[in-house]
Amino acid sequence: MESLQLDSLPSNYISANNIRIHYVRSGQGSPMVLLHGWPEFWYTWRHCIPTLAKQYNVVAPDLRGFGDTEKSPPGRNAGSPAETLAEDLLGLIDGLGLDRIALVSGDVGAYASMAFARKWPERLRGLFFFCCPYPGIGRRYGQPDHLIEVWYQYFNQLPWAAELVGSSRENCRTYFKHFLDHWSGDDPSVFAEDLEIWVDNFMKPGNIQGGFNWYVSSAATRLLSIEEKLPVKPRIEVPSRFLWGKHDPIVKPEWSDRLQEYFASFTIDFVDAGHFVHYQRPDIAAPEILEFFDAHK
């Protein structure tokens, strides 16, 4: 499958929701927005964009604090909750003159997508999720046998964590390589080609802390979710599609069993991959995205 190189698409910037958002754009037609997770940036979509851009006007931004999007404010803070990321998305598509969008996301991007869908459902043709963290996971996320997987969510909140990880390129590589490899099913070959590009990205000033700020911002909500004390909200009515990695160790596929409590209309399938389905199996991910949105025009 055709893939992009880092410099094959020009960088674009737009001021929206009081920050400067970086994005890349490719293709023509109906708009499609791709929202990455952690530890990622727009380049995580590089295997999917060429196929998607043959039919869609694809926009892949860096989320607030990630990649080349502004850190607001700089340093350690709780300035990037899901609701703010959703407002960033609204500002982005309004600024680009996009009306109804096809929205694809995973991980952190999935939180932003769900917040967006609850507030502005009329702006969406549909939602496509990879390995989606959602409130129905509940107490299972904090079970003793899962704590070994989520330790980083607490480490990332420590005031000195970003300084330690970024104290050398070697430390940065060691830290992020763990997640890229382990979440891909303990397969170091998956990200081997792009590992140094990931290190380059996170060694940019503010990028490690910018990503860690998501965990600072979401800490209170995460605790309520694990305690199953989040206020009950109406189900998301936007048509939704889930493609879940069978070997995802962080958002386990069996935890999709309560999606019907949170999504009114959805379909789901499982694929032989880890957490980064879009990167690891673009041969499946990209056609699935096209098929879903072709049916929801």
Please tell me the predicted confidence (pLDDT) of residue 143.
Answer: 95
Regions of the chain with pLDDT less than 50: none
**Is residue 48 exposed (0-12), middle (13-18) or buried (19+ Cβ within 10 Å)?**
buried
Q: What residues are labeled active site?
A: 107, 215, 275
Q: What is the pLDDT of residue 297?
A: 85
**Domain limits of the chain?**
12-294
Question: How much is the pLDDT for 1?
Answer: 78
Distance CA 215, CA 104 (A): 21
**Of 20, 80, 58, nearest to 210 (Cα)?**
80
At residue 71, the pLDDT reads: 94
Six-digit token string for 33: 């927005």
Task: Look at residue 269 and give its three-state secondary structure.
Answer: strand
Q: List, in sequence order, every beta strand (DSSP E) within the chain.
A: 12-16, 19-26, 30-35, 56-61, 101-106, 124-130, 240-245, 266-271
Q: What is the pLDDT of residue 293?
A: 98
- Token match 């055709």: residue? 2
Into which CATH architecture does domain 12-294 fall?
Answer: 3-Layer(aba) Sandwich (3.40)
The sign one gets for the Cα dihedral 162, 206, 85, 273 is negative
Question: Can you tell me the distance from the alpha carbon of 146 to that of 75, in angstroms, rounded to the nearest whole number?
Answer: 29
Q: Is 266 helix (H, G, I), strand (E, B) or coil?
A: strand
